[in-house]
Chains A and B, each alone.
Chain A
């Protein structure tokens, strides 16, 4: 593996269209800015795996009985956070 040392603000260019810049170093965390061509997906590695696993799970685990029995909400919650409705 190619290993390069960079300072804050310095960049790495990959091919013609990919640019990675070190934006911030905070303790054990590094913030990177990534510029890539439209259509070239950029993922956090663990997120990529999580999404692939969830897609696989969604096709395997469809309970038709459950689908029939589910209530069918009529609209978005009237107020609240940007996340899903909280239970309870």
Chain B
């Protein structure tokens, strides 16, 4: 399940329903970078069989280490999740120039 960190926060928690201790901090990469290839994510997760015209959430997994290390997000391998079917997958954006450790916060 997907839970807001707090109301209005860009951070959300992707929490495992089956394993309580398993959770990822995630962000919407399109909020941090222009031209994020959302359509490519949609194509790459087609095998999970979304409903026709189903809206998807694109999420990048964050690593949030203690200061002074920068929080980073995995823009190379985002998750695409159908908002109605709740099905999704982590996929790789080949040759998009993104990395697994993008310092996404603006200074």
Which chain A residues have a beta carbon within 8 Å of chain B's beta carbons?
38-39, 41, 43, 47, 50-51, 54-55, 57-59, 61-63, 65-67, 69-73, 75-77, 79-80, 82-85, 87-88
Q: Which of A66, A71, A77 contacts B64 (CB 8 A)?
A: A66
Query: Which residue of chain B lies nearest to A37 when distances are taken between CB atoms in the complex?
Result: B47
CA of A31 to CA of B5 in the docked complex: distance in angstroms?
43
Size of B's binding interface in residues, CB under 8 A: 46
A41-B92, A54-B74 known; A72 vs B97 contact (CB < 8 Å): no
Near A by CB (< 8 A), chain B positions 67-107 give: 67, 71, 73-77, 90-92, 96-98, 100-107
